[in-house]
A and B are shown apart, each in its own frame.
Chain A
Amino acid sequence: MTVAAELELQSMVLLRLGERRYAVVATEIAELVAPSRMFKFPHRSPKVEGVILRRGRIVPVCEVAERLLGKKISARRFYLIAVRNYGGHKAPHKEWVAIPVTGECELINAEITGPSASDAPHIAGWISHDGNVIEVLDISALTARPEDEPAFPAAGATNTFVEANS
C-alpha cells in the first residue's frame, strides 16, 4: 500500500444491528458500554427510548433500528455512545447519544466512498469490508429531530413512557 492510499483510510467502528452491519467514523464514537439500566419518563420524542447514566452524564438512548431495519430490535448487547453535533459547523454543540447495538463492535481502517444523490440522508458513504459493502452512518442525520430534517414527517406525538409501560 502506498503512503497516498494509506492517507485515505479512515478509522471506522463496525457495529451490528440484527443481521446487518453498519459503520460509523471512529471520531464520532466515545465508547462502547454494556447495557445499563434505562430510565424512562414522560416525553414526546418518539425516537428517544429513555436515558442512561454514564460517567455522571445523563445520556439519551436513541432508537435507530426501526429506521435502518424497519423494525425495532429487542436483543441488545451494548450501547454505542456516539457524539452528536446539534449546532452545525459554525457553532458546534456536541452531546452524547446512546445507540443500542446487538453485537460486538470492531475497529477497522477503510476507505470511504461518498454517498450518491439517491442515498438516504443518514448514509454518509460506503465502505467495502470482508467482501461486503457496508453503509457508513451519519449519526446526526440518523438521530435528526423534526427541526433538523423538515423533509421527514414528524412521527406521531405519542407518549413513549406510556407505550413502554403498558
Chain B
Amino acid sequence: MRLAPKAKSPAAKSEQIILFRVGGALFAVSSASVQEVRSVDSLAGASAEIKDSGVLKVRHLLQRGEQNLFVVNGTIHFGLPLTPGTLVFILRQSRTALLIDGIEKMTSMTHLQALPLAFHGEERQWYRGLTALDQTVVPVVDPQGFLSEDEVARLDNLLTQKVSAEASVASSGALQ
C-alpha cells in the first residue's frame, strides 16, 4: 500500500532557522522567534537565582526592563546530560529564555514535517516538527513549548510571594 504522494507546492517557502546544541544534541529554532542571543557572562548582573522554584528546569530569573524572564535549562528540559550552558536565547513574545551549549550555524529550511504520530509523549509540546537538512534530521523546537501556562503561573506566584516577603521584612525594619 502506498500513501498519497506528497503535495508539491509551486514554490517552497523557506524559513530562517538557528541550529543549536543542548547536551550534545542538535536542535533548530526559527530565527524569527529569537529576539536576542546573549552570552551567560554578559547576563551575570541581570540575572538572579531562584531557589526551590518548583520547576526544576528553571533556576534563574532574568530581569529585562519591567519584565522577568524565566531561564529554562535546555539540558534539564530535554532530559539530557547536564552541560555548562554558554549562551542564552531570549525568545520573542515569551516569558522564556533558553540556556544552550552553543550555536552550530544559521541556515534555512524549506520543509517542516509534522512530528509523526508514533511520538506521543512530551515531545509533542517540545517540537513544531522535524526537518531534514543535509541528510540529517533535526527537531524544530516550539518556542512556546518550554514552559506551560501552569509552570509560568507557579513561577509568577513564587515571585509574588518573595516580593511580599521582602516588602514585609523591609517595612518591619523601618518600624524598628
Contact = CB atoms under 8 A, between A and B. Distances in A.
A114 interface: no
B118 A39 contact: no
B80 A146 contact: no
Chain A contact-residue range equals: 35 or more
A103 B24 CA distance: 34
Interface in B1-57: 1-3, 6, 24-27
Interface in B68-82: 78-81
A29 B1 contact: yes
A44 B123 contact: yes
Given A58-B132, A159-B79, A28 B1 contact: yes
A43 B119 contact: yes
Nearest to B116: A60
Interface string A126-166: 00000000000000000101110000000001010110011
Interface of A: 27-30, 37, 39, 41-45, 47-48, 51, 53, 56-60, 62, 83-84, 86, 93-97, 143, 145-147, 157, 159, 161-162, 165-166
B132 A162 contact: no
A27 B118 contact: no
A93 B117 contact: yes
A45 B120 contact: yes
A27 B121 CA distance: 29
Contacts of B138: 41
